[in-house]
Chains A and B, each alone.
Chain A
Amino acid sequence: MTQKLVIIGAGMASGRVIETLVETDSDAYDITLFNAEPRGNYNRIMLSPVLCGEKTYEDIVTHDDDWYAQHGVTCRFGEHVVAIDPELKVVEGQNGHVPYDKLVIATGSAPFIIPVPGKDLPGVITYRDLDDTNAMIDAAGEGKRAVVIGGGLLGLEAAAGLAERGMDVTVVHLMGHLMERQLDEAAGYLLRRDLEKRGITIRTQASTKAIIGDGRAEAVLLEGDETLPADLVVMAVGIRPETRLATDAGLDVARGIEVNAQMQTSDPDVFAVGECVEFDGNLFGLVAPLYDQAKVLAHALLDQADAFVVKDVATKLKVTGCDLFSAGDFAEGEGREDIVLRDPSKGIYKRLVIEEDRLVGAVMYGDTADGNWFFQLIKDGTEIDEMRDTLIFGPAYQGGDTSDPLSAVAALPPEAEICGCNGICKGTITDAIANGATDLAAIKATTKASASCGTCTGLVEQVLQVTLGDAFELPTAQPICTCCDLTHEDVRRLIKSQELKSQDAVWQELGWKTRNGCHVCRPAVNFYLLADWPLEYQDDPQSRFVNERKHANIQKDGTFSVVPRMWGGITNPSELRAIADAADKYNVPTVKVTGGQRIDLLGVRGEDLPAIWADLNKAGLVSGHAYSKGLRTVKTCVGTDHCRFGTQDSTGLGIKLEQALWGSWTPHKVKLGVSGCPRNCAEATCKDIGIICVDSGYQVSVAGAAGMDVKETERLCDVTSEQEAIDVTIAFVQLYRENAKYLDRAYKWVAKVGLDWVQERIADLDERARLIQAFELSQSIYRKDPWAEHVQTKAAQYQPMANLTLEAAE
């Protein structure tokens, strides 16, 4: 006997249920299909091609009127179901009741709307169905501005579609990288790069505070009070299972409508399928598992045995030119190992995650051809032990290592600058090679590349090797560490010429072999990025040694030392009192006068750091950076103020220099000395920069040392005014910041580039002015007290996160 089947929702899941039912046994049920949308089942996935104009609605219809008629489905489209009565087994539609023997709820999801002021203004659109898509198409227009809130799959497809329609699009995303649930940071970086290439602006770590407008959306207001003007706002921050009918009917509902493996709800005659369900704690947002559910449900309705199992899903993004693939679980869990392959020349990134000899996750960008093969390995749980070493090269692997250490250089475009001193691009060098310059000396002679400071020599040699192949033998240069094939100098040069402004950009474009470097290369890269891009790049404390991350020197017993700054070695009774009080209050075991003319409080507990800093701050004392690769001390002597031999105000100049330079990060530490006369009581001639005051002015000398090596400074120049002495000092520090290898003290760097070269640069007044300006720009960010900042914003992180010993006592 034919039973009555009512289905609520004519979406992708229920569409597949009906297909399977009518194919298997077309007489089993008399079907009534409700749909809130005024149409039947269409391929919702293809709304993005409709949005960007590649397809029309007609192209994506799955079941048209004829199809429903042919299969005897009674359609009630454009009609909401408002209630279910499971006792009477009746469904209440807006236009009347329908009784059922079996009921299927397939109501899909509703877009999640973030509860900010202005969310209901006209001009704010979600992205779920054809009406939303048409509303976006109507609102779009050449030159108009759209803000898309949400950088996940839906948001980015909307953004790409609107950009295609000529809109000026900004994506606002809460997290640190795009599609964070499907992609890791590296792939997220590449995706961002490709979207930016199409003119889409991406704002990560940006939180929406409100949507503002008079009668219609006009702008999005971000946390931090920046406003982004918008003619259209698309909210695509996520979806929520549409469970309201089920909840009202008293069915079991968690986050979704709870079903068993036969898609049966807590009422045996009521089934649910699609995005509205929750199975075994899982929710669903992609169609592949929904089709499995649909098949199982059709079988259940026909009393055939079948059971739904959750399988891994794979994600792709339907934006042309953004080729990405992710599958399985590539982040969480212990006992995992990564295999990473990067090919900067082709913009390719692949990462495989292996657990117990099985592939459990894969993320790919750029070349996703092998995606399905990997996906199959994940789903089948194939043992990959045998092919582990070559796995990442995919099924077509023929033998031989396909990753090329030179590929970062091979990938550089002809206009990439190789030699910064002389402004020589890769193309000029390859032209010279073509014209017969086949070794370094010939390149230097014909193009001047690497003929000045010489730090680009490694790169020039690599260009020779890439161009000439085996005809050129590459001298073995020392790479930074095993994470990459490039030297420090090469990395510095490429960060500048390729305008790499994030760690992820460096990892990808320079072919790093690990996920995010190691304790050797990451601090170096962090410094290079902040030195070259002070405004664009944000210093990363997690890429710093503990001393610099915590702004205190760690001691061998895990306690810390605290050294406040004493400008030029000058202090006063109230500062000394504050130091004495702090030493008492925090039980500081050792108080020592340092070799740098200030006081060290040794043995402070990590938990007490914010408190002791706050106390010292109150007395006007700030961090002495005794821990940093940055300015340490400026040692001075008493000079003209008191000394019978003093020629200039050495103490005053020392204080001015310390105030100009403090807080700046440098490749290694920087120490200065200023002596009032050639007797040199401030030991200026063994510092990184030493100034000796004389009757005629100031002798500025650089590149001294008194640690592991002892070396006298060399004269940089003589100047007549104090201002000039300050200018020359700052210019030298900035030149060192821009060019030196991380962890080279100034004397080591000067030995490499030559004092002549340094003198030339500083003597050139335009260059000197540029260096000073660049330094000042960087100092606009970094000339501030890190202690005060940590007291305000990071104090909690100095405390243990939890105390489980208390848990036991309770």
Chain B
Amino acid sequence: MNWIDIGHIDDIPLRGARKIKTALGCVALFRTSETEVFAASDTCPHKGGPLSEGIIHGQSITCPLHNWVFDLNTGQANGEDGQIATYPVRIEGDRILIDGAKLVAQSAA
């Protein structure tokens, strides 16, 4: 694991999301409660909707384009055939850390 500090927890509004740019495309960070953040792909497998613009409820995100709902624990879409990649994140004090192992581009893969 390669934990990268990407910001203060309050940089993401409660029940809101922000995205980060990575070698794999945009990854969205979803803040589901005061102290809980999930990371997953920002791109909806349906028609590419930006998930960080969706509505967060419980531990799920609803895509802003056609309302597919994804469980942020597993990335699985509710009742649809689709899944988004999820990434390990953790919170240390006020800081959000994401596992960069997969996300930072390897120069020679």
Q: By the criterion CB–CB under 8 Å, are A797 and B55 in contact?
A: no
13 contacts between A and B (CB under 8 A): A331-B33, A336-B73, A519-B55, A550-B53, A797-B13, A800-B20, A801-B11, A801-B20, A801-B29, A802-B4, A802-B6, A803-B20, A808-B105
Q: By the criterion CB–CB under 8 Å, are B53 and A546 in contact?
A: yes
List residues of chain A with CB within 8 A of the CB of B64.
545-546, 554
**Minimum CB distance partner of B103 in chain A:** A804
Interface size class of B (residues with CB under 8 A): 35 or more
Number of A interface residues in the complex (CB < 8 A): 45
- CA of A337 to CA of B73 in the docked complex: distance in angstroms? 9
Partner of B22, one of A518, A541, A804: A804
Is A707 close to B, CB under 8 A?
Answer: no
Partner of B20, one of A338, A544, A549, A804: A804
Interface residues of B (CB under 8 A from A): 4, 6-7, 11-16, 18-23, 26, 29, 33-36, 38, 47-50, 53-60, 62, 64-65, 67, 69, 72-74, 86, 88-91, 100, 103-107
- CA of A338 to CA of B71 in the docked complex: distance in angstroms? 12
Interface residues of A in 496-553 (CB under 8 A from B): 514-519, 522-523, 540-546, 549-550
Interface residues of A in 658-688 (CB under 8 A from B): none
Partner of B54, one of A336, A519, A606: A519
- CA of A519 to CA of B107 in the docked complex: distance in angstroms? 41
Q: By the criterion CB–CB under 8 Å, are A175 and B54 in contact?
A: no
Is A332 close to B, CB under 8 A?
Answer: yes
Is A334 close to B, CB under 8 A?
Answer: yes
List residues of chain B with CB within 8 A of the CB of A556.
47, 65
> Contacts A542-B16, A558-B49, A801-B20 hold; do A331 and B62 have CB atoms under 8 A apart?
no
- CA of A515 to CA of B60 in the docked complex: distance in angstroms? 11
Q: By the criterion CB–CB under 8 Å, are A517 and B57 in contact?
A: yes
Shortest C-beta distance, B66 to chain A (Å), equals: 10
Interface residues of A in 760-810 (CB under 8 A from B): 796-797, 800-805, 807-808
Q: By the criterion CB–CB under 8 Å, are B104 and A807 in contact?
A: yes
- CA of A807 to CA of B106 in the docked complex: distance in angstroms? 11
Q: What are the interface flags for A296-338 relative to B under an 8 Å C-beta threshold, 1 for contact and 0 otherwise?
A: 0000000000000000000000000000000000011111111
Q: By the criterion CB–CB under 8 Å, are B58 and A516 in contact?
A: yes
Partner of B16, one of A517, A541, A557: A541
- CA of A333 to CA of B73 in the docked complex: distance in angstroms? 9
Partner of A518, one of B13, B20, B29, B62: B62
> Contacts A542-B16, A797-B18 hold; do A523 and B33 have CB atoms under 8 A apart?
no
**Minimum CB distance partner of A547 in chain B:** B64
**Minimum CB distance partner of A550 in chain B:** B53
- Going nearest first, the 5 A-B pairs with the smallest beta carbon separation are A519-B62, A808-B105, A542-B15, A546-B53, A801-B18
List residues of chain B with CB within 8 A of the CB of A517.
57
Is A385 close to B, CB under 8 A?
Answer: no
Q: By the criterion CB–CB under 8 Å, are A805 and B50 in contact?
A: no
- Interface centre among B18, B29, B106, by most A CB within 10 Å? B18
Q: By the criterion CB–CB under 8 Å, are B55 and A543 in contact?
A: yes
Partner of B21, one of A180, A523, A542, A800: A800
- CA of A175 to CA of B67 in the docked complex: distance in angstroms? 32
Q: By the criterion CB–CB under 8 Å, are B4 and A807 in contact?
A: yes
